[in-house]
Each structure stands twice: as structure tokens, then as C-alpha cells.
Amino acid sequence: MREIETAARAFGMRIGPRVDVGNPENLEGAFATIMKERAAAVFVVGGTMLYANRTRLADLAVNSRLPMMCSAEPFVVAGCLMGYSTNLADVFRRAATYVDKILKGAKPADLPIEQPTKFELVINLKTAKALGLTIPPSLLARTDQIIE
């Protein structure tokens, strides 16, 4: 959160209150709070509960007329406006190489920690249209995946 707040200040933006959802029953209340604060957009950091409810989350954002940026491609496929994150398939492939090394006798503590190297920007044009937004062609040109 500190990094997000620092980046927002650098662009002259204010980060509204952090809304912790906790369970699916709190999603509507979270959006009511967000709307009460007159948010211009929503940034969602993924988690298993939010992932399981990603379509409902996206529907709430669109119905609230709020652009929502999410942490991974499956959220964007479900209706989030855009996402920028590591390439999950690549992360899982890399995890498999660790498992292979461990099964061949390597000690987990001796294996180096690797940082992700593949990131992807995904934009949902259907959601953009529903929100009345036009995505600049320069941004679309840099997009790894476009959902239409």
C-alpha cells in the first residue's frame, strides 16, 4: 500500500480509504463505501475470495460506473477493465522447475529465489465500452491481450 500511495502522490492523485472485504457478503457494502467516498476508480489486489467472486466484483464495478484495475488476467476476463501482473502461466511453469530440482535431490534452501520476468497488460474493451471509456490507441498498442 505504501508503494501505491507514493506512486499516486507523484501523479497528484489521492488514494481513498482502503476497503477490506473479508467475505463475499461484504462486497456490496464495500462498493457502497467506495461510492460514498466518490471514488473515481477502484484498484483490486487479488486474493482467493476475490478471485472466486471476480465476476460479481466486476459487475459491481460496472454497475457503479467505476473503472477497476485488477491484479491478474482472469479478473479482466471476468469484466475488470484492466490488469497488469506477472504472467501466471510463466510463474507456474517456473514453479514446476523448482519441484523438478527438489525431486532430483536439491535442497529447497539452496535454490535461488527468482523474480518474475514476464508481465502482461490485459484490457477488456467490452468493459470500457460499458463504462463509456475510450482506450487510447497508444495504450492498446502496448497491450498483451485485449478482451473484446
> Distance (Å, rounded) from C-alpha 30 to C-alpha 22?
10
How many structural domains compose the chain? 1
The number of beta carbons lying within 10 Å of the beta carbon of residue 72 is 20
pLDDT of residue 140: 96
CA distances from 126 to 40, 47, 62, 101, 131 (A): 19, 24, 11, 43, 9
Does residue 7 belong to any structural domain of this protein? yes
Grid coordinates belonging to 95: 514453479
Mind listing the pLDDT tens digit for each residue in 90-131? 888 888 998 999 999 999 999 998 888 888 999 999 999 999
Does residue 73 belong to any structural domain of this protein? yes
Does residue 80 belong to any structural domain of this protein? yes
Domain of residue 140, CATH code: 3.40.50.2300
